[in-house]
Structure 1
Amino acid sequence: MRSFSTSARKLLQYLGYPFADLPGPWKTATETYLHNGAAKKVGVIKSVEILHRNDGSSPVHKSHYNPNDPEEVISVRIEDENGNKRTHHIYSDGTGTGFVGDKRE
């Protein structure tokens, strides 16, 4: 397991929907997940693309991983230092999942 180092944070690129435009708690939730859950799952993070509809509306939506989940999420495509990309769902409490059936952390 590799940690989310200070140098990695400086190199992290946000793509897609502007990070600064995320509503209320979603900025903190995204940072929390990237530093904790995502770092444990993928190691060093190179970039984060905040996925959204083409109309530029809020990226907050219901999970497609688990349609029975009543909570809202944002979807982000995380690229690790080796160029591997995977979509993650981030919850408003700063936890998240990296695939269907993944442990929320």
Structure 2
Amino acid sequence: MALMGAAGAAAGETGCRTLQRRLLDYLAARPEWRRSGGRDHVVLAHHPNGMLDARYKLWPCVFVLCDFGRYPPSVVGLDKDVIAPYRHVVPNFAGQRLRRLR
């Protein structure tokens, strides 16, 4: 990860964790975040392993996820979050042809 120097990482922290920590630090410093506590923010974390650490601090946000499988109910729920499933997981109807958007 060329953009991250050793100074940006805490001891034993992986590149992914460093980026998540830096995102949380950035958000916490923003007046928009502090004003709402994140409740008016949308986080796209579509991969099931996305935001593995940060999700526990971002729980007030609206998440766009592929499923709730790896998130605890204290972090995600149908009352605030959006499920956008992977296309290959959603079955086609019999006889339906796939159309590609141009």
Which is strand-richer, 1 or 2?
Answer: 1
More contact order relative to length (CA 8 Å, sep ≥ 6): 1
Larger radius of gyration: 2
Which is helix-richer, 1 or 2?
Answer: 2
